Structures are given as structure tokens and as C-alpha cells.
Amino acid sequence: MANRKPRVVVTRKLPDAIETRMMELFDVQLNLDDEPMSKADLIEAVKTADVLVPTVTDHIDSGLLAQAGPDLRLIANYGTGVDHIDLATARQRNITITNTPDVLTEDTADMTMALILAVPRRLTEGERVMRSEDWKGWSPTWMLGHRIYGKRLGIIGMGRIGQAVARRARGFGLSIHYHNRRRLHEEVENELEATYWESLDQMLARMDIISINCPHTPATYHLLSARRLKLLQPHAYVVNTARGEVIDENALTRMLRADELAGAGLDVFEHEPAVNPKLMELSNVVLLPHMGSATVEGRIDMGEKVLINIKTFADGHNPPDRVISETF
């Protein structure tokens, strides 16, 4: 690869500036239609590419990797999460995996905070009333929500995004609590004024708002199971901008329909792009189309990281964003 331009296959449309730079640096096959690649197209891509640039919409499983050609040495993921890639099989085949960490932290934390505000204050319900032209004017007891000031926020996953959410939430007067596989250093806890809960169950039972900010791994699949969701108090809200698979979506929907939870703000879903139709019928849920990281700046920053990872790897060095493992 060092003596020629690496052949790079990109599975989705990327920002123009990134695609232009890729064309200058590498031998690139772009996806101009921006439709998810079919299984057959992905198979052809892994057979012929030196570098594959997939996104979260591509399932890079063991069956696909088994058909990879001998030249595929790098999968430079366009995104932070890599739960759609079979990391173990990639390692067995000596394929390096990279991602794009850090650049989406602030954007995702912004969206998380927006949902933390939107659900208790019933913002989307009010907006729908205005568009339906049913508003009859102000009333002292109509469309009442709940203030978030003074409430307890429980953050599941206190990595970069979780900490960024905590910093924002403190500014709104929320009390910060968290559960994480490893406890933060004391100075970070003090800075965030955050209370650590070793037991997720105990934390869930005491929080007013839950924010999910952990990756999807085998250990976090249905971390919020039906049993754990039952631990939440009826006035609690659930916000998820991480991965849909972390929540048992059917159980969550049942509880929301039965008023066993006050509401939810969801930017991700267990079976994306499919969404439970019963979930879509609920007025106490804010649903967004996986747009937590959808800023122009963020998408360009992601592309810049992909470029650096490919170029560094092609030059014979370890790329800066090599994925070693994904943990909660």
C-alpha cells in the first residue's frame, strides 16, 4: 500500500470537502446516491478495497469479513460507535479498526440536554398544538410540565459525552449522579459535583431523569431491561442519545403507555430505522431521527479524522484512533 494510492471504498455520502480531499489523496469509490449499500455491494467492497469507510448503517459482521480480500487491512469507521463491526473477527483477520472519537462529544451532549429540557416541559406537544391551530390562548392550568431545576439526573456511562452532559446539566441546577464501569477520579467528581453509584439498580430507583450515554456492547445490551425500568419512579423521564439497543424498547413502550413513566426523549432506537408504532402514538415521547451528532461542523470533523487515520495507516504507522476495545 505504501507504493501506491490505497483503494478506499466509502459506503455513504460524506461532506463534499471530505470527499474532495479523499479523491486527492486516495483511489476512492464514493457512494454518490447516499443509499445504504446492499449486502452484495458490501461483499464486493471488502473483496476489492484496501480500506473500507463504513458508517453505523453498515453491518460488518463475521460473514462479511470472511469474504474480505487479502488487501483489506483497515476499516476506518465514520463515527464513534463500532458496535456494527465484528471487532473480534477483524482482529483475527489482522484488520485494523479506527473510529472518530471526541469530535461528536459536544454535539451529542447538546442534543441530550435539549431532550432533557424538551420532555418535561412538553415542548414538542406545544409545538404540535400551534401547528394544528387548536390553541385558544393562555390558560393557568393548561399544558403544564415540570421544572428540571433541583431534580436528580442519573447518567449511565460517564465517558466524554456523559461528562459533557453533566457540565451542561449543572448549569440548569440539576443534581448529578452517575453509574459507570469505573469510578471517575476524585478531582473529576469534584469538578462535576457528581455522586457515584456502584449499583445501577439503586441509582435508577432514586432519579428523576435518566440519561443514557454508554456504548452498545454485549455487556450493555438491554442494560435497561424490563426489570430495571420497573425500578424507576412513575414521575421519571428517560433520555437516550447513545444506542437504542441499550433499552428494552418494548418494555419502555409498555410502561409509557401505562403511565408507569412520565416520558422519554429518544434519538436512537433498538431496530433502526424501524420504530415501534405504539411508541410513535404517545404524546409524552419526543422522537428524533438519530440526529444527536448531526451538525455541519461535526460531520466535517469526523471526516478529517477518517482522512488522518487512513493517511497515517497508509504511511506505515499506527493510526491515532485505533480501536483496541469498546467498554462501558
Per-residue model confidence as pLDDT tens digits over 155-186: 999 999 999 999 999 999 999 999 999 999 99
Per-residue model confidence as pLDDT tens digits over 83-132: 999 999 999 999 999 999 999 999 999 999 999 999 999 999 999 999 99
Spot the catalytic one: 44, 191, 260, 272: 272
Q: Would you say residue 147 has pLDDT above 90?
A: yes
In CATH, what number does 105-287 get?
3.40.50.720
Look at 13-22, 88-97, 232-241, 316-325 and tell me which has the smallest mean pLDDT. Answer: 316-325
Those residues with Cβ within 8 angstroms of residue 281's Cβ, 6 or more apart along the chain or in another chain: none
In the chain, the percentage of residues whose pLDDT exceeds 90 is 95
Per-residue model confidence as pLDDT tens digits over 278-311: 999 999 999 999 999 999 999 999 999 999 999 9
Q: Predicted confidence band at 134 (pLDDT cuts at 50, 70, 90)?
A: confident
At 326 the pLDDT is 56
Exposed/middle/buried for residue 167 (C-beta within 10 Å: 0-12, 13-18, 19+): middle
At 137 the pLDDT is 94
The span from the CA of 235 to the CA of 146, in Å, is 10
Average pLDDT, the chain: 95
Ramachandran class of 45: left when φ > 0, alpha when ψ lies in -120 to 50, beta otherwise: alpha
Per-residue model confidence as pLDDT tens digits over 182-228: 999 999 999 999 999 999 999 999 999 999 999 999 999 999 999 99
Spot the catalytic one: 243, 270, 299, 326: 243
Q: Would you say residue 140 has pLDDT above 60?
A: yes
Q: Would you say residue 328 has pLDDT above 70?
A: no
At 327 the pLDDT is 52
Q: State yes or no: is 84 an active-site residue.
A: no
In CATH, what number does 7-103+295-314 get?
3.40.50.720
Q: Looking at residues 53-67, what average pLDDT do you find?
A: 96
Q: State yes or no: is 281 an active-site residue.
A: no
At 133 the pLDDT is 87
Task: Give just the sign of the alpha carbon dihedral 207, 152, 145, 214.
Answer: negative
At 324 the pLDDT is 83
Q: State yes or no: is 12 an active-site residue.
A: no
Spot the catalytic one: 125, 290, 304, 322: 290
Residue the block writes with cell 483496541: 324
Q: Predicted confidence band at 2 (pLDDT cuts at 50, 70, 90)?
A: low
What residues does CATH 3.40.50.720 cover in the chain? 7-103+295-314, 105-287
At 1 the pLDDT is 57
The span from the CA of 134 to the CA of 122, in Å, is 16
At 41 the pLDDT is 95
Q: Looking at residues 261-270, what average pLDDT do you find?
A: 98
Look at 3-7, 126-130, 270-274 and tell me which has the smallest mean pLDDT. Answer: 3-7
Contact criterion met (CB below 8 Å) for 156 and 214 = yes
